[in-house]
Structure 1
Amino acid sequence: MIVDAEQLHPEVLAEIKDSRAIARYRTKQVSTKLIVLSQDCDIANPNESIVELVPAKVLNENQERKGRERKFDKPSNYGKLIVRFGGEYLELDAGMISAVEKATLSAPLNFLGELDDREQRILIDWRVGRYNRKPFPDAFNRLFKKFFEEQGLWDFLEQRCDEVSDVWVYVSPEGEEQAAQYDVSVTVEIDQKCPAHVHNEVHEKLYSALKTLHEVTGQDPGIATLNFGQISGDWIFGLPRCTVEITAMSEDISLFDIQFLRTYNTAFACYPD
């Protein structure tokens, strides 16, 4: 929910500022709007005494454009995020989050509304992703991320966001940051309602891209070799125990698979403009 901060008493605003975790943020003013991060059940729970809030800075057109150019409207930068509220763009800064005693907010609040479902999902992913993500090996990730961006694969998946649910990646050895070679598989999770022609289109696009990356890294001794066993049929470190299909329906990805697969940061693909 979004609260009108302009209606709060000065002592409440002072408490919100003082309740920020990082000292240097405590001197910054509270924006005209506040987003309540705590869930409704926690707010209603009498045994839960804390409410988390984050100021929402209303951006002008120039600020909004610059923020979107830096992809702050996608939950991929865990320091800042831009969400839409009606016709406004609101900027959130993780350093400005306050943990405030409920008693501080006992006076009636002026609620301005709620973020829509899309923006709420982005907000949740932004907060959860800060903690609930396991990094990929550096040598793999640099090559993989750069290739996806240069080949326009994020844009390709974003345009099919209604059909693409997630991107799952298998990497071995997963604990070696600078290995000379990695076994890799990429599986795009397809929604059950995806039309067959879109499913085939995604499969063909990914197969072609992964084949290219497999060949490029295999021929350059100056970079790590990314061996896509799902392309070559050969696995350096042994056949994975999980699915290695390039595309798979949601119902075909099991909890057992998820023990070995990790979701890639698909913020760009899952949340189109």
Structure 2
Amino acid sequence: MQEILDVGIRQGVILFFSDSLESSDQLFDYVKSGRFGLFSDESVGTSNILLVLSQECSISGRRYIEVVQGKKERRFDAKKNSHLLDAQDYGKLVIKVGEFFYGFREHSIAKIAQEVLLKAIQSGKIFVGETIAPHIKRRLLDWRVLEYVREPFPDRFNRALFEYRTGRGGWFFNYLLENQDKIDSLRIFISPDEEENAEEYQIIISALLTDQCEETLSEEISQQIEKMLTEFHAAYPFIAPIQITEEIDGLILPDAVSLAFTHSYDEFTFSAAYHMREFNLEFLCY
């Protein structure tokens, strides 16, 4: 349906309700009726927002658009609830929109008929806002998708990384968050990758950089990863970063796997992506 695209509906777009809407307006019933059955009666009002989840190809070819309802959080402490901002809780995600924090819950996902949404926009009941930043949109989508398809690292490695992150390594993960518009993702090669409690894990960690990352920052990111790997290895000797130890010990590295600390999009191949698993905070699920 081209009309709905013409008014600005895209994945990641924020939709606001008009303050003049009455609580009895039928539009709210449309939102509630589009949810999973058990939660269809949960309230929705003008202080809420909607985030579009559907992709453009789905919007143009299907009758319904999938959205998730956000409710304004009161007295939200970002430091104490960082796990909600980092999409580590699959039941709830919190995103900052403007000056306010909004909470999104899995049971607040709804499907709304395109004609209903288009009519609401044309009549001024709903206003189309801005699109959330690319890294926030990715986090929103990961929050939904990774509940079903995430592939955790081997257990012993995963636990060590979680312990490191919540302890002395917190600085590194804060650094990643501060530069999330420049760092697409961290990629990790690990061997063995199917043994949950191996005596040793040989690893390579590289940052996949966005096109917005300047060369000087690329060098800084490399230095930070090297510092992190040195510190991580010292705390957990069974973790052997090949970039630091320079010891292969008979391991045959795939041709696509590089020891570089950073890669640009042009340098990072599909083959490299296959061997170097993407790391994100959702993997740390303990």
TM over 0.5: yes
One-letter amino acid of the counterpart of residue 217, structure 2: V
Q: CA deviation at 1:142?
A: 1.4
**Could you give the per-residue CA deviations for residues 151-200 of structure 1, whole angstroms, max 9, x where no partner exists?**
21012233334443321101122222222322211112234564444333
Q: CA deviation at 1:101?
A: 4.5
Distance 1:212 1:84, change over 3 A: closer
Query: What is the rounded CA distance, in whole Å, between the counterparts of 1:155 and 1:244 in structure 2?
Result: 24
One-letter amino acid of the counterpart of residue 259, structure 2: V
Q: Does 1:265 align with 2:264?
A: no
Q: Which residue of 1 aligns with 2:55?
A: 39
One-letter amino acid of the counterpart of residue 70, structure 1: S
Contact residue 35 and residue 110 of structure 2 kept, 8 A: yes
Q: Which runs of 5+ in 1 are unaligned?
A: 219-224, 268-273
Secondary structure, aligned partner of 1:57: strand
Aligned match of 2:262 in 243, 247, 272? 247
Secondary structure, aligned partner of 2:152: coil
Size of the aligned set, in residue pairs, is 256
Q: Which residue of 2 aligns with 1:137?
A: 154
Query: What is the rounded CA distance, in whole Å, between the counterparts of 1:99 and 1:31 in structure 2?
Result: 17
**Could you give the per-residue CA deviations for residues 190-219 of structure 1, whole angstroms, max 9, x where no partner exists?**
34564444333322332232123224322x
Q: Does 1:148 align with 2:165?
A: yes
Q: Which residue of 2 aligns with 1:222?
A: none
Deviates more, 1:126-135 or 1:171-180: 126-135
Query: What is the rounded CA distance, in whole Å, between the counterparts of 2:216 and 2:64 in structure 1?
Result: 50
One-letter amino acid of the counterpart of residue 160, structure 1: N
Query: What is the rounded CA distance, in whole Å, between the counterparts of 1:202 and 1:15 in structure 2?
Result: 47
Q: Which runs of 5+ in 2 are unaligned?
A: 1-13
Aligned match of 1:52 in 59, 66, 70? 66
Q: Which residue of 1 aligns with 2:35?
A: 20
Query: What is the rounded CA distance, in whole Å, between the counterparts of 2:227 and 2:79 in structure 1?
Result: 33
Query: What is the rounded CA distance, in whole Å, between the counterparts of 2:261 and 2:17 in structure 1?
Result: 47
Aligned match of 2:107 in 79, 86, 95? 95
Query: What is the rounded CA distance, in whole Å, between the counterparts of 1:107 and 1:251 in structure 2?
Result: 43
Q: TM-score, normalised by structure 2?
A: 0.74
Query: What is the rounded CA distance, in whole Å, between the counterparts of 2:181 and 2:40 in structure 1?
Result: 41
One-letter amino acid of the counterpart of residue 239, structure 2: L
Query: Identity rate of aligned residues, in percent?
Result: 20
Report 1:32-181 matches (<5 A).
32=46, 33-35=48-50, 36-45=52-61, 48-60=62-74, 62=75, 64-65=76-77, 69-102=81-114, 107-109=119-121, 110-118=125-133, 119-149=136-166, 150-151=168-169, 152-181=171-200
